Structure 1
């Protein structure tokens, strides 16, 4: 009986040595010399650090997304401002005659009478250029938005004057026949010219040929000259 206890004791010692050896082996190989408790604590600390880093990165992402939204909003506002300014610039360029335009209006043709007519060769519309000026004035009064004479766009400083048996328009010499295009309400423009005792009647009565047509779509060229101000300056 005593021998049994001795063998049991010896077995326990051997088992304890084996377990101790196994724990040391695991600790040295897998736990880098630390105890399981220490390794667990170390892993928990690393996990906490990773979570903190993740939260910080998420915060940075939110900040960057907010900044991106501000930049995009600013760009959109800037684009809206630029678009508005561009539209305003184009509108003033149209007013100034610096762009091609199209729209409904009227087409007026004025020419000298045929040489075999009763008027012979005595009449020349170039000498009566003031009739053209009067016709242009009627068109402007009737709301014409754009006018051209023989494809010379009329602007604020366009001249219509007699020079060397021709008519100068934008310093370009022109002669009959004259084709006058005017964009605006075609019925209103036509009525303004053809009213009783109006400019059309006057021109015909003097023996010149004149025809007025309403047109659904006219295209007028842009003013191809330059406008410079040497004396006029904006008032501040």
Structure 2
């Protein structure tokens, strides 16, 4: 074997010479299209990055094929289910928190509205009390008199309560029950007769005289006086005109303005001046008429006069005709 056909390997054994790389003219690359790059064959060429190989799916032993797309779909469905559960939990939490917030905000709104109404009521009451001209203009003596009258009325009411309780005790007793019941019925009939105007009455009281000035005495002024007297404890009243016509004043009495300064009381015409005779506590009724802004001040402001005189024995003699009942019958 000749040296031209073998190449020394350094071990003493000959090595067949590999096929030589054909080359073109000096300095020119190999013209063959499938020829390797000379840089790749060079031991000094830098290493190039090799893309990773695609994973190889091994077929199972039983010959069944693995559907990668179905496995990926199941994985995606599981992930979507987990995300859906988390989103549902967050939505439920948000809705629960929103409901609690709405409940708390509704309660807060209601409390704020109630507090606002309470504050508004207190402010209005304070203003009405502090700006009341009647109370502010009342003298200290008048306030003391009003307080005294209220205390006196309370004492009278307590006495009435005690009297009624005593009457109840007597009515429930065995021997005196019948006689006590008869006396009580008589007393109540007299009181109701006086209130209804069917019985005359006498007792301490006042005489209130209206004298017109530039303006005639109106029915509203007379009605105000009657209301003030009733509020002060008047028990019986009558009104007389300049022609000495007299009308008993009861709960159903009405007052109207007539012609030429006259009054129409319960359908009867009265001419001025007008005089109201009233039975009750004189001091209490006088104080009620003289309250600042009351009846005396109103009549005086119209240019008239209101003359109030005490009577030790005022007499109310005018009677009111009882109403004839058409349908009602007393029950025994």
**In the alignment, what sits opposite 1:100?**
200
**In the alignment, what sits opposite 2:252?**
157
Secondary structure of 2:300's aligned partner: helix
Secondary structure of 1:197's aligned partner: coil
Cα RMSD (Å) of the superposition?
A: 2.8
Q: 1:84 to 1:140 in 2, by over 3 A?
A: closer
Q: 1:88 to 1:109 in 2, by over 3 A?
A: same
Does 2:291 match 1:195? Answer: yes
What number of residue pairs does the alignment pair up? 152
**In the alignment, what sits opposite 1:144?**
234
Post-superposition CA distance 1:114-171 (Å, at most 9, x none): xxxxx4xxx222xx22111111111111111111111311112211112344311132
Higher Cα radius of gyration: 2
Q: Which of 266, 271, 274 is the matching residue for 1:170?
A: 266
Q: Which of 219, 223, 228 is the matching residue for 1:133?
A: 223
Post-superposition CA distance 1:73-111 (Å, at most 9, x none): xxx976654444323222211221211111111111101
Q: 1:112 to 1:80 in 2, by over 3 A?
A: same
Shift of residue 175, structure 1, vs aligned partner: 1.2
Q: Is this contact kept in 1: 2:205–2:311, CA < 8 A?
A: yes
Q: TM-score, structure 2 length as denominator?
A: 0.41
**In the alignment, what sits opposite 2:282?**
186
Q: Which of 200, 209, 212 is the matching residue for 1:109?
A: 209
Q: Which piece of structure 1 moves more, 91-100 or 135-144? A: 91-100
- Quick one: distance in 1 between partners of 2:328 and 2:263? 28
Structure 2 segments unaligned to the other structure (5+ residues): 1-175, 241-245
Structure 1 segments unaligned to the other structure (5+ residues): 1-75, 114-118
- Quick one: distance in 2 between partners of 1:200 and 1:229? 40
Poorly superposed stretches of 4+, deviation over 6 Å? 231-235
Q: TM-score, structure 1 length as denominator?
A: 0.57
Higher RCO, 1 vs 2 (CA within 8 Å, ≥6 residues apart): 1
- Quick one: distance in 1 between partners of 2:231 and 2:180? 36
Map 1:1-236 onto structure 2 (within 5 A): 81-113=181-213, 119=214, 123-125=215-217, 128-150=218-240, 151-165=246-260, 166-229=262-325
Q: Is this contact kept in 1: 2:197–2:320, CA < 8 A?
A: no
